Amino acid sequence: MSLSRDPEARAKSLASLYRVPKLETEVLTQELLKEYTVYDPDSGLFTLIKSGSPRYKNSLPVQIGTVTPKGYLVAMIAGKKLPLHVAAVVWMTGRHPDREKLEVVDHINGIRTDNRWCNLRVISGGENVRNQSQTKNTSSGIVGVSKRGSKFYAHIRIDTKLRHLGVFDTLEEAVAARQKALVEHLELLKIRHQNSVLSATLQ
C-alpha cells in the first residue's frame, strides 16, 4: 500500500491496515461489555455477540474463554484482553475492582474457571490469600506451608521468586509468618501504587 504525503490521508491509510479498531478507553466499561458480550450469571459463561476481528466474522455468536497457565479464563473483548471473572463483575455491577484498595475478584469455591455470579466476590488481596482453600499440593494442607518430618516450613512467592520465611515447630507459627510476609508485601504494593499516582499527578 502506497502512503500519501498528506498527514491526514497518511493517517487514514495507516488506520486501514488494522483490522481490529483500537479502543480509546483504558478499561472496558459495562456498556461496552454488554455491547460485545452476553454473560449468563447462572452458568458463568460469556458469549461474544459482536467483534471487529475477522476470526469471528462468520461464527457469531460464540462462547469465549481460554484457560491461562494460572487456571483463569481470559478472552479478547473489543480489542482488550480481560480475565472473565473480572469481566463478570463489570458486566453485573458496572465497576472494576479498586486497585488502590488492592481489591481482587475471588472464586468462593476455589475453582478458577467457575465464573458463576454466585461464586464470585470482590475482596482485598490479603483476604483472597487468607481465604484460599486447603490444597492437596502441599504436605501441610495449607498454601505456602509445607511439612517435613515434625517441622513446618513457610514460604511465599512474589514476582515468580520463592522466598523462604523460616522453619517452625507448629503449623500455626508457620501460617502466622506467611501472613505477616503477605501483609508487608501488600502494603509495599499499595505504597508503590500511591507513589506512581502522585508522580503522574505532578508531571
Q: Which tens digit of pLDDT belongs to each residue from 157-185?
A: 766 678 889 999 988 888 888 878 877 77
Residue 67 within any structural domain of the chain: no
Q: Which tens digit of pLDDT belongs to each residue from 147-158?
A: 888 899 988 876
The helix (H) or strand (E) run that includes residue 84 is helix 84-93
Q: Which tens digit of pLDDT belongs to each residue from 89-142?
A: 999 999 988 877 778 898 877 778 889 999 899 987 555 554 554 444 455 557
Residue 138 within any structural domain of the chain: yes
Residue 123 within any structural domain of the chain: no
Which domain range does residue 141 map to?
Answer: 134-203
pTM above 0.85, yes or no: no
**What stretches of the chain adopt beta strand conformation (E)?**
37-40, 45-48, 62-64, 66-67, 73-77, 80-83, 103-107, 120-124, 145-148, 151-158, 161-168
Residue 168 within any structural domain of the chain: yes
Residue 33 within any structural domain of the chain: no
Residue 34 within any structural domain of the chain: no
Q: Which long-range contacts does 162-169 make (Cβ < 8 Å, 24+ apart)?
A: none
202 versus 118: the higher-pLDDT residue is: 118
Q: Which one-letter DSSP state was computed for residue 176?
A: H
| Contact by Cβ (8 Å): 77, 33 | yes
Residue 58 within any structural domain of the chain: no
Q: Which tens digit of pLDDT belongs to each residue from 29-73?
A: 999 999 999 999 988 999 999 988 777 777 889 899 998 888 889
Backbone angles phi, psi at 123, to 5 degrees: -140, 175
Backbone angles phi, psi at 125, to 5 degrees: -60, -35
Nearest CA-CA partner of 71 in 85, 51, 57, 60 = 85
Q: How many separate domains does the chain show?
A: 1
Alpha carbon distances (Å) from 202 to 166, 195, 196, 199? 42, 11, 10, 5
Task: Work out the end-to-end distance of the chain between its first and last CA atoms, rounded to an integer number of angstroms.
Answer: 39
Residue 148 within any structural domain of the chain: yes
